[in-house]
């Protein structure tokens, strides 16, 4: 069945495994191909919300659809299918450090059912080209800079041509210039292929340079940010 939104959350509680409610009665709708930011202080619930969208934290009430999958009724195999429609990028890259860039990507493709060596090679070169890292296919992750490692993580997120990329503070470990490179690459991917992007960030320079619809986690609620609202830098960065 077709759905209008890539993420459609209505009256959802974001709840930790221990039962504590992190965000109460939230609504969040993301259109296909849309680019949206998620902001909020440390501990305000950004990562918990991302984990909920990713099917790692349970949803018990409301409406919660991601890429057409209903999180309230999805079985484990549906969650597995859903995760193929979704690429995830983390602050700390989460590469496998005991193998090459190529092997990191091949591992994901094999785990998601790719069998033909030629097709695997083609796909890996295709995603590495998008992040301008073709020449590093044979490198070990520790031989790469932080920015390059994050680009490998982005390439990995693209392997199965996702409808949605969720990025949890993807520039949190990077300097300003490298962060900007990462943003440019993600913007390019978002424009050319149209996966929607939901990005949690603390980086106000990014919000300023690449403005887009922004939602804020605050005191257990998720609210839309007025486009003209000045973001108080101190308040944003306060732990
Ligand atoms: N694994 C966990 N178990 C229980 N509580 C957690 C866990 N992870 C985070 N929390 C709590 O959930 C709240 C939101 O945290 P988090 O989603 O990580 O916020 P953010 O990503 O905005 O920093 C915090 O109160 C945090 O202590
Ligand atoms: Mg977080």
**Which residues make Cβ contacts (< 8 Å) with residue 177, sequence separation at least 6?**
none
Q: Kindly state the tokens that stand for 54.
A: 């990713």
SS3 percent helix, strand, coil of the chain, rounded to 5, is: 40, 25, 40
**Contact criterion met (CB below 8 Å) for 59 and 12:** yes
pLDDT in tens, 78-127: 998 998 999 999 999 999 999 999 999 999 999 999 999 999 999 999 99
pLDDT in tens, 13-28: 999 999 999 999 999 9
CA distances from 228 to 48, 144, 212, 231 (A): 27, 39, 12, 9
What local confidence, expressed as pLDDT, does residue 90 receive?
Answer: 94
Given the structure tokens 């300023």, which residue do they identify? Answer: 208
- The preferred substitution site among 43, 49, 58, 200 for testing ligand 1, maximizing ligand atoms within 8 Å of CB, is 43
**Which residues make Cβ contacts (< 8 Å) with residue 219, sequence separation at least 6?**
44
**Contact criterion met (CB below 8 Å) for 39 and 225:** yes
Rounded Cα–Cα distance for residues 27 and 13 (Å): 9
CA distances from 37 to 15, 115, 204 (A): 21, 36, 11
- Ligand 1 neighbourhood includes 224 CB (under 6 angstroms): no
Q: Model-level pTM greater than 0.85?
A: yes
- Ligand 1 neighbourhood includes 44 CB (under 6 angstroms): yes
Nearest C-alpha neighbor of 222 from the set 72, 15, 25: 25
Q: State which H helix or E strand residue 216 sits in.
A: strand 213-218
The domains found in the chain, sorted by start residue, are 1-85+163-239 (3.40.50.300), 96-161 (no CATH)
What local confidence, expressed as pLDDT, does residue 43 receive?
Answer: 95
Q: What percent of the chain has pLDDT over 90?
A: 88
Nearest C-alpha neighbor of 133 from the set 110, 111, 101, 180: 101
Which ligand sits closest to the CA of 51?
Answer: 1
Given a cut of 90, is residue 225 above it in pLDDT? no
Residue nearest to atom 9 of ligand 1 (CA): 48
Rounded Cα–Cα distance for residues 148 and 101 (Å): 10
């Amino acid at each position: 069945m077709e759905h209008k939104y890539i993420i459609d959350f209505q009256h959802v509680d974001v709840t930790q495994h221990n039962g504590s409610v992190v965000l109460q009665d939230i609504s969040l709708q993301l259109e296909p191909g849309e680019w949206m930011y998620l902001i909020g202080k440390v501990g305000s619930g950004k990562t918990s919300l991302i984990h909920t969208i990713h099917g790692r934290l349970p949803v018990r009430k409301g409406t919660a659809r991601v890429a057409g999958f209903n999180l309230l009724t999805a079985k484990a195999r549906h969650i597995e299918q859903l995760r193929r429609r979704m690429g995830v990028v983390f602050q700390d890259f989460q590469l496998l450090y005991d193998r090459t860039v190529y092997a990191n990507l091949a591992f994901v493709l094999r785990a998601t059912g790719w069998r033909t060596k030629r097709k695997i090679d083609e796909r890996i070169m295709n995603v590495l080209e998008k992040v301008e890292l073709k020449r590093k296919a044979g490198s070990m992750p520790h031989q790469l800079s932080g920015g390059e490692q994050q680009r490998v993580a982005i390439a990995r997120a693209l392997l199965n041509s996702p409808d949605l990329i969720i990025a949890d503070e993807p520039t949190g470990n990077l300097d300003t210039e490298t962060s900007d490179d990462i943003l440019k690459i993600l913007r390019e991917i978002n424009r050319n292929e149209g996966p929607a992007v939901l990005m949690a960030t603390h980086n106000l320079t990014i919000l300023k340079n690449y403005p887009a619809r922004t939602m804020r986690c605050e005191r257990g609620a998720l609210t839309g940010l007025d486009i003209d609202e000045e973001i108080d830098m101190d308040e944003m960065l306060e732990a």
